[in-house]
C-alpha cells in the first residue's frame, strides 16, 4: 500500500489575497511535499513498514536510529499535510469556545499565546516548526527542528507553522517575522485547531 499525498484543502491561489502566492504552493506542495511522499514510498517498499499507517511509521522510525531517513520523510509528509490544514482563506482572528477558554487558562490570555507562539517560530534556528499542542490536558507551545513533530513524542498537535525557509521565501524573502505575523492575522485555521482539541 503506497503512501499518498492528500490534496490541498484549498485551491493553490486561494491564499493569494491573504499573503501566500500560488507559486509558493506550486513549489512547497507540488515539489517539496510530493518529494517526501515519493521518497517515503521508495524507502518503505518491500519492508514491514509499507503496510503501516503514516503515524505508525513515524513512531516506529523515530525510535530506531537506523531508520532516520524513513522518519524524516514520513514526518515531513505528516507535518506538511497538518500545516496545509492549519491554513485557510480569511483565517486569523481569535478562536472561540473551548479552545479560546483553554488558551486563556493555559497561557493567561490570547495575546500571551500569540507572543509565545511567535517567539517559538522566530527563534527556531534553521529549519523547523512551531506548534500548539495538547500535552496531557494542558496547552503548550513548542518548537521542533527539521522533521521532528509532537506525534513522535506522544503529544497531540493542534496547529503548526512551517518555518523552513522554503515555506516563506517566495512571499517574504528572509523576513520570517512578517510571515509569522501574517499567519496569525490572516491565515490560521482555528476551526482545525478546535477539531483537534476535541478529538479523544
pLDDT in tens, 164-198: 999 999 999 999 999 999 999 999 999 999 999 99
Please check whether residue 2 lies inside any domain of the structure. no
Domain holding 146, by residue range, is 97-198
Nearest C-alpha neighbor of 54 from the set 87, 8, 5: 5
Domain limit, last residue, from 29, 54, 85: 85
Over residues 70-104, the pLDDT tens digits come to 999 999 999 999 999 999 999 999 999 999 999 99
Residue 109 shares a structural domain with residue 180: yes
Residue 103 shares a structural domain with residue 69: no
Q: Is the pLDDT of residue 148 over 90?
A: yes
Helix (H, G, I), strand (E, B) or coil at 3: coil
Q: Number of structural domains, the chain?
A: 2
Residue 41 shares a structural domain with residue 110: no
pLDDT of res. 153: 96
> Does the predicted model carry a pTM greater than 0.95?
yes
Please check whether residue 171 lies inside any domain of the structure. yes
On whether the CB atoms of residues 19 and 182 are closer than 8 A, the answer is yes
Residue 73: CATH number of its domain: 1.10.287.990
Residue 179 shares a structural domain with residue 143: yes
Amino acid at each position: 500500500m503506497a503512501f499518498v499525498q492528500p490534496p490541498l484543502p484549498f485551491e493553490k491561489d486561494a491564499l493569494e489575497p491573504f499573503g501566500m502566492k500560488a507559486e509558493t504552493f506550486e513549489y512547497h506542495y507540488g515539489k517539496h511535499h510530493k518529494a517526501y511522499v515519493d521518497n517515503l514510498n521508495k524507502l518503505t517498499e518491500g519492508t514491514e513498514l509499507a503496510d503501516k499507517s503514516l503515524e505508525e511509521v513515524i513512531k516506529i522510525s523515530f525510535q530506531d536510529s537506523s531508520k532516520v531517513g524513513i522518519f524524516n520523510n514520513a514526518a515531513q509528509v505528516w507535518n506538511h499535510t497538518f500545516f496545509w490544514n492549519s491554513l485557510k482563506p480569511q483565517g486569523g482572528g481569535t478562536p472561540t469556545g473551548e479552545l479560546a477558554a483553554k488558551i486563556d487558562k493555559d497561557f493567561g490570555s490570547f495575546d500571551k499565546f500569540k507572543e509565545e507562539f511567535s517567539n517559538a517560530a522566530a527563534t527556531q534556528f534553521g529549519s523547523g516548526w512551531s506548534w500548539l499542542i495538547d500535552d496531557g490536558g494542558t496547552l503548550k507551545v513548542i518548537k521542533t527542528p527539521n522533521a521532528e513533530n509532537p506525534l513522535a513524542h506522544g503529544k497531540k498537535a493542534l496547529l503548526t507553522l512551517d518555518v523552513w525557509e522554503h515555506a516563506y521565501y517566495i512571499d517574504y524573502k528572509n523576513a520570517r517575522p512578517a510571515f509569522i505575523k501574517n499567519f496569525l492575522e490572516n491565515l490560521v485555521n482555528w476551526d482545525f485547531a478546535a477539531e483537534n482539541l476535541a478529538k479523544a
